[in-house]
Structure 1
Amino acid sequence: MGRCSCALLWIVVISLAFFFPPAESWGKEGHSAVCKIAQSRLNKAAADAVQKLLPDYAEGDLASVCSWADEVKYLAKYRWSSPLHFIDTPDLKCNYEYSRDCHNTQGEEGMCLAGAINNYTAQLATYGKSSDATYNLTEALLFLSHFVGDIHQPLHCGFSGDLGGNTIILHWYGQKSNLHHVWDTLLIETALKDFYDSDLALFTQGLQTNITDSWSNDVSTWEKSSTKGLACPNPYGMESVGLACNWAYKDAPADSVLKDDYFLSRLPVIEEQLAKGGVRLAATLNRIF
């Protein structure tokens, strides 16, 4: 998640890598739900463009490639993209500022999750124009679809000091893990197992039903861009770090054991963030195309 210049902390992080799998923002299940929701809400122009840009092996299904950006970031060719999956925010500040927080360890501005969303939105906006040959628009679509999901995972906008919860070691019921992995994967996996018979399609359909029913009065607000741009990741980042402070970090210190109280109170947050991610990804693609 985050980055720190402290050598001792990096020794700890490298050691932990032997015990815990790398965090995969929302996990495949979460990203699949975001992209499935988004594709169902595209207007005709956006739906046509997405179909043309998707790689052949996706067979027209955006959700099937929504985790592509996680899969390639470990390859030498795409290692540069790793900082684009998160935003580092100052410890305990509970706010986000683009100029302060959106850079990599070398200080390059824009090398963060919000910057990536802006960049790939701008690339996709060249679709159908003579300049579109400048960019790989298939990759731009896959990156953007993934990163809009990422920015709705609160701990992808978490504190730099604990690497977005990655160094907060605790137990999820009886399983040793870290707080970031709980929010990436374990909350969703537990919900699937306990309430949806491990059926991701059923889980996603439940989110879509809530978008139509329970959240119907909020959807138009979710869709709007609060800026004049095609994408508006900065408000999403501010929203996520607020949720990180109020829900993710709260009552989840190192060495704690998270059980039903934490799971059942945080699941609605997860569900709404996945729904927002899908609605906002669709709205962004609709504006672009």
Structure 2
Amino acid sequence: MGLSMNVVIAIFVSLFAATTLPTSNAWGTEGHYMVCKIAQSYLTSTASSAVLNLLPAGANGDLASECSWADTVRGAYPWSSALHYIDTPDNLCTYDYTNNLTQALMFLSHFMGDVHQPLHVGFTTDAGGNSITVYWYNVKTNLHSVWDTKIIQTSMSNYFGNSMDTMANSITANITSTQISQWNSCGSSTSACADTVATESIQNACNYAYKDAPNNAYLSDTYYLSRSPVVNTRIAQGAVRLANFLNQIFV
């Protein structure tokens, strides 16, 4: 193997500690699923084999099926909640090594999606949009939820027959080799990549998420049609970068 996965995940989590919020669960099930589904298609044969060996039997070789695992275990493993916004706890190293690598894979896959959701680096005063009430096509929700799930679910309903796989395939088909090169330009420097992703998310939060979305705003087609391409791009970027990380880990 190349980079240690445990080292990568610890560095990646700690680098984003200052920008993530404990009240914010970036991307819903759909967004995380698509990030991992797309990423798996970009793995090298070596990385793909390693990932398949680490996935639990119930995943049936599908990384996407485990991409929301990090959210589902918060109740069973209270210590894991902290991993979403502070350093890895010291006692993580006491787990069985093989099991620890499996969990590290699923945490890293989840966190890579998390940090690409713009409001995961949103403003502290509104908890990343959680305290901003909005009406999504007249249904009361909050701005963070719009970016977590509503935009994606609207796209799935309108264009993809409510299929996560179909939407993921569409996003994949529109990723160019030039984009892959640009998105992975930070190379093997974890800190540089973290800075790049955080900067992108902050800019997207300011330029798209918060813009024209004050408290009690009614958001519909105008907001959706101008923001859904941003969401699709962030999913694509998260997927490509996740694949790049895994390809560097498993060489």
TM more than 0.5: yes
Whether contact under 8 Å (2:25, 2:114) holds in the other structure is no
Aligned counterparts, 1:31-110, within 5 A: 31-75=32-76, 77=77, 79-85=78-84
Who is 1:258 aligned against? Answer: 219
CA-to-partner distance for each residue in 1:103-129, whole Å, 9 max, x for gaps?
Answer: xxxxxxxx1xxx66xx9xxx9xxxxxx
How far, CA to CA, are the matches of 1:32 and 1:157 in structure 2?
21
Secondary structure of the 1:205 match is helix
**2:165 corresponds to 1:201:** yes
How far, CA to CA, are the matches of 1:134 and 1:41 in structure 2?
24
Calculate the TM-score normalised by the size of structure 1.
0.73
**2:181 corresponds to 1:216:** no
Secondary structure of the 1:171 match is strand
Shift of 1:83: 4.2
Who is 1:281 aligned against? Answer: 242
Quick one: which amino acid aligns to residue 134 of structure 2? L
Larger radius of gyration: 1
Who is 1:91 aligned against? Answer: none
Residue identity (%): 49
**2:247 corresponds to 1:247:** no
Aligned residues: 226
How far, CA to CA, are the matches of 1:287 and 1:230 in structure 2?
15
Who is 2:150 aligned against? Answer: 186
Shift of 1:84: 3.6
Secondary structure of the 1:26 match is coil
Who is 2:138 aligned against? Answer: 174
Shift of 1:181: 0.3
How far, CA to CA, are the matches of 1:195 and 1:40 in structure 2?
22
How far, CA to CA, are the matches of 2:169 and 2:28 in structure 1?
18
Q: CA RMSD in A?
A: 2.3
Unpaired runs of at least 5, structure 2? 1-19
Quick one: which amino acid aligns to residue 104 of structure 2? A
With over 3 angstroms needed to count, the CA separation of the structure-2 counterparts of 1:228 and 1:26, relative to structure 1, is closer
Shift of 1:239: 1.1
CA-to-partner distance for each residue in 1:233-266, whole Å, 9 max, x for gaps?
Answer: 2221121111101100111011110010000000
Shift of 1:227: 5.7
Who is 2:21 aligned against? Answer: 2
Question: Higher relative contact order at CA 8 Å, sep ≥6: structure 1 or structure 2?
Answer: 2
Who is 2:122 aligned against? Answer: 158
CA-to-partner distance for each residue in 1:207-231, whole Å, 9 max, x for gaps?
Answer: 01001xxx43221111232563498
Whether contact under 8 Å (1:37, 1:275) holds in the other structure is yes
Who is 2:10 aligned against? Answer: none
Secondary structure of the 1:186 match is helix
Unpaired runs of at least 5, structure 1? 4-21, 87-110, 124-131
Who is 2:198 aligned against? Answer: 237
CA-to-partner distance for each residue in 1:46-101, whole Å, 9 max, x for gaps?
Answer: 111101111111111100000000111233x2x23334435xxxxxxxxxxxxxxx
Who is 1:143 aligned against? Answer: 107
Whether contact under 8 Å (1:230, 1:287) holds in the other structure is no
